[in-house]
Amino acid sequence: MGNAVEKWVEEQARLTEPDKIYWVQGTEDEMRRLIEIGIKEEKTAGHQTFRELNPSAFPNSYLHWSHPNDVARAEQLTFVCPPTKEAAGPNNNWMEPEKAKQMLYELFHGCMHGRTLYVIPYMMGNPASPYAKPCIQITDSVYVAVSMYIMTRVGNETLKRIGGSEKFVKGLHSIGELDPNKRFIMHFPQEELVMSIGSGYGGNALLGKKCFSLRIASAQGYGEGWLAEHMIIMGVEDPDGDVTYFAGAFPSACGKTNLAMIDPVFAGYKVFTLGDDIAWMNVSPDKRLCAINPETGMFGVAPGTSDKTNLNMMKTLRAGKFYPTLFTNTGLITTSNTPWWEGLTETVPENMLDWHGNPYDPKSGKDVAHPNSRFTVSVSNCPTLSKEFDNPNGVPISGILFGGRRSDTVPLVCESFDWEHGVFKASSLGSETTAAAAGQAGVVRRDPMAMLPFCGYNMADYFGHWMEVGRRLPDPPKIFFVNWFKKDAAGKFIWPGFSDNFRVIKWMIDRIKGKVSAKETAVGFMPNMADLNVSGLNISKEIMDKLFELNPGEWSKEVEGIEQFYAQFGTRLPEALKRHLENLKKSL
Ligand code: OXD
Ligand code: MN
C-alpha cells in the first residue's frame, strides 16, 4: 500500500477504468508530447483538441474548438455539498453528500474506457508560501492537462510537499460523454474534494480555479480566518515612487483582465500585474491584509481584446515563450492561420472559419468567435508582471475595488464610509449577466463581492466573515465601488472605459494617500470634480453629472432589489447589514 496520494489515485482508477495511467511531471518535453497527442486526436462535430497556429504571429500557440454545447460555466449543474443545506446557503445548489456521491459514482463508473487517466500534482500558490496549498487533479482530457500546466504550478514539488500526509485537495475530472444531461460539478468542502464530469470548459474542468481556489478555498478561509476572492491584484507606482496595491472584484466578463494590466494614461505612473481572477487574502503577522494570486496563468475573455483596448494582453498573447498559449472557441483566419475574434481588428477579415470550424459567411450576422471564447496564457509572458508575483508573503492591499456592469443607478466611483459600510455595499452588489455563464445575458442579478457563483458556503456567514476579518485590521484597506458601464438613453456607454479607467484609479490613490477630500453622499464618498482628472477626454459637464447622478427612482428600485435579495438569508443575515440598509433608505 503506497502513500495517501497513490491510494486515492488507485481508487479513482478502479472507478473510472482507464486504459492507461500517466503521472504528469510538468516538464517542457512532456507538454510537447501532450500537445502532440491533442493535435492527433480525432475531430468530431467541429470539436478539435489542438491545432497549431502560425508561429511567426503567435508562437507556441494552439487553437481549441470545444464541443458546441460546452462553452461556459454551468451554474445550474454546479453543487456545493456540505452536510446540511443551511451550510451551503440559498445561493448554492445542494444535495445530500452521500446521495450526490452515489449519483456521481454511477456516472464516473467506467467513464475512462479507452482513455488515459492523467494524474496532475499541482500547487496553488508558490510552494514557498505559507498560504500555498497542494492539490491533485485527475483528468482524462489533454486540453485540461495542458491548461493546468499553464494555470498552476504543476510538478513533483507538490508530491514532496504532501509527503506522507493525507492532506491535499482532490479533484476528479472526466469529460464523460460531454452530455449536458450527465454534467455535474460537485464540491465536498468537508473532504476538500471536487468531482466534475461532462464538461471540458475551463471553469468546470480546471479544478484548481473556480472549484478549488474559490469554492473550496472560501470555505477553508471561513474556518481558518482568511478570504478567497474573485479578484485581480495589481500594484500602481506613482510619481513619488510609492507602490499602492489594489485587489478588485468584478463578475465574470466585466473587464478584470483588462484592469489588471491597464495602461496608466498619466506620465510617471506604472502598473504591475499580479493576478487577473483570484486573490487569497490573509491577515499578515503585522496585521495587514496581504494578497497572493494562487494561479500562474490567465484564462481571459477574447472578444473585445485588441491592441487598442489592451495592448499588454496582446503582447502577452504574442510572446509565446516557455509555456504554450491556448485559444479556445475563437475563429480562425485560414490564410494566415491566426485566431480572430470580434473586436480584434476593426475590419472583419476574409477567409475565416467560425468557432464551429465552418467557413464564415459575413452576411450571416453570426459570431465568428463564441462570445465567451477564451485565451489561456502564462503570466510569465505578461510584460507588466510584478516582481512581487512570487513573493511568498503576498503584497499588502491598500484599496479594494468592487464593480459591476450597470447601465444605470450606480455612479462611476464611490468610496465606502468605512470597512463595514463597504461590506454592506459589496454584499448588495448587482451586475448585468454575461456570456461567461450559460443562461440569459443582460439581466441584473445581485452578485455579492462578485462571488455569487463561487462562494462555497452560506453567503450570510460569508458577509459576517468579511466583517470579522475587517475587525482584525487596525488600518483596513479603503473600499471603492466603480461602474464603467453606465449608458445613455440610446444604449451607448457614456464613460470611455479601458485605459481611461486609470483616471479613477488615480483618484483612489490620492484618497488612500490622503491627498484629496471627497463629497459625502447617501451612498458614500464621491470625488470633488476638480480631483478627477479628465483632461484630454471629450466629455461634457452633462455627461459627468450623469456619471455621478443618484437618481431617486433608480435608487428606490435598487433598495427594493437589495431587500428582496437579503430576505432569503432570514435571521442568518448579520444585523449590521440590515442596519446599513435602513440607513441607506433613510438618507435617500
Ligand atoms: C472566469 C469566470 O473564467 O469568472 O474567470 O467565469
Ligand atoms: Mn473569473
Distance 451 CA to ligand 2 centre (A): 9
Best substitution site from 210, 214, 231, 433 to test ligand 1's pocket, by max atoms within 8 Å of Cβ? 210
Q: What residues pair up with 184 in beta bridges, in sequence order?
A: 197
Distance 375 CA to ligand 2 centre (A): 13
Ligand 1 site, CB within 6 A: 73, 202-203, 252, 277, 299, 436
The C-alpha atoms of residue 131 and residue 125 are separated, in whole angstroms, by 7
Question: Which protein residue's CA is at the shortest distance from atom 1 of ligand 1?
Answer: 252
Atom of ligand 1 nearest to the CA of 277: 5
- Given the residues 111, 254, 290, 455, select the one marked as catalytic: 254
Distance 249 CA to ligand 2 centre (A): 9
**Ligand nearest, relative to CA of residue 437:** 1
Cell of 123: 500547487
Question: Which protein residue's CA is at the shortest distance from atom 2 of ligand 1?
Answer: 252
Contacts of residue 135, defined as CB under 8 A and 6 or more positions apart, other chains included, come to 121, 122, 123, 124, 152, 158, 168, 169, 170, 171, 207, 208, 212
Distance 436 CA to ligand 2 centre (A): 9
Distance 230 CA to ligand 2 centre (A): 6
Atom of ligand 1 nearest to the CA of 436: 6
Q: Which fold has domain 3-46+73-225?
A: Phosphoenolpyruvate Carboxykinase; domain 1 (3.40.449)
**Ligand nearest, relative to CA of residue 203:** 1
Q: What is the pLDDT along the chain (588 residues), one digit of tens a residue?
A: 469 999 999 999 999 999 999 999 999 999 999 999 999 997 766 789 999 999 999 999 999 999 999 999 999 999 999 999 999 999 999 999 999 999 999 999 999 999 999 999 999 999 999 999 999 999 999 999 999 999 999 999 999 999 999 999 999 999 999 999 999 999 999 999 999 999 999 999 999 999 999 999 999 999 999 999 999 999 999 999 999 999 999 998 888 999 999 999 999 999 999 999 999 999 999 999 999 999 999 999 999 999 999 999 999 999 988 899 999 999 999 999 999 999 999 999 999 999 999 999 999 999 999 999 999 999 999 999 999 999 999 999 999 999 999 999 999 999 999 999 999 999 999 999 888 788 877 889 999 999 999 999 999 999 999 999 999 999 999 999 999 999 999 999 999 999 999 999 999 999 999 999 999 999 999 999 999 999 999 999 999 999 999 999 999 999 999 999 999 999 999 999 999 999 999 998
Cell of 443: 439581466
E-strand ranges in 217-329 read 227-229, 231-237, 243-249, 270-275, 279-283, 289-292, 297-301, 325-328
Residue of 494, 504, 574, 567 lying closest to 532 (CA atoms): 504
Atom of ligand 1 nearest to the CA of 230: 4
Residue 111 among the catalytic residues = no
Atom of ligand 1 nearest to the CA of 203: 3
Question: Which protein residue's CA is at the shortest distance from atom 4 of ligand 1?
Answer: 252
Identical topology for domains 3-46+73-225 and 229-296+387-587: no
Atom of ligand 1 nearest to the CA of 251: 4
Distance 299 CA to ligand 1 centre (A): 7
Atom of ligand 1 nearest to the CA of 301: 3
The C-alpha atoms of residue 550 and residue 522 are separated, in whole angstroms, by 9
Q: Does domain 229-296+387-587 have CATH number 3.90.700.10?
A: no
pTM as predicted: 0.97
List own/partner pairs for 581-588 with CB under 8 A and 24 or more apart: 581/424, 581/428, 584/522, 584/523, 584/559, 585/559, 587/522, 588/522, 588/550, 588/552, 588/555, 588/556, 588/559
Distance 447 CA to ligand 2 centre (A): 13
**Ligand nearest, relative to CA of residue 375:** 1
**Ligand nearest, relative to CA of residue 147:** 1
**Ligand nearest, relative to CA of residue 230:** 2
Q: Which fold has domain 298-381?
A: Phosphoenolpyruvate Carboxykinase; domain 2 (2.170.8)
- Predicted pLDDT at 195: 98
Best substitution site from 215, 299, 433, 449 to test ligand 1's pocket, by max atoms within 8 Å of Cβ? 299
Question: Which protein residue's CA is at the shortest distance from atom 3 of ligand 1?
Answer: 203
Extents of the domains making up the chain: 3-46+73-225, 229-296+387-587, 298-381
Distance 212 CA to ligand 1 centre (A): 13
Give Rg (Cα) of the chain.
23
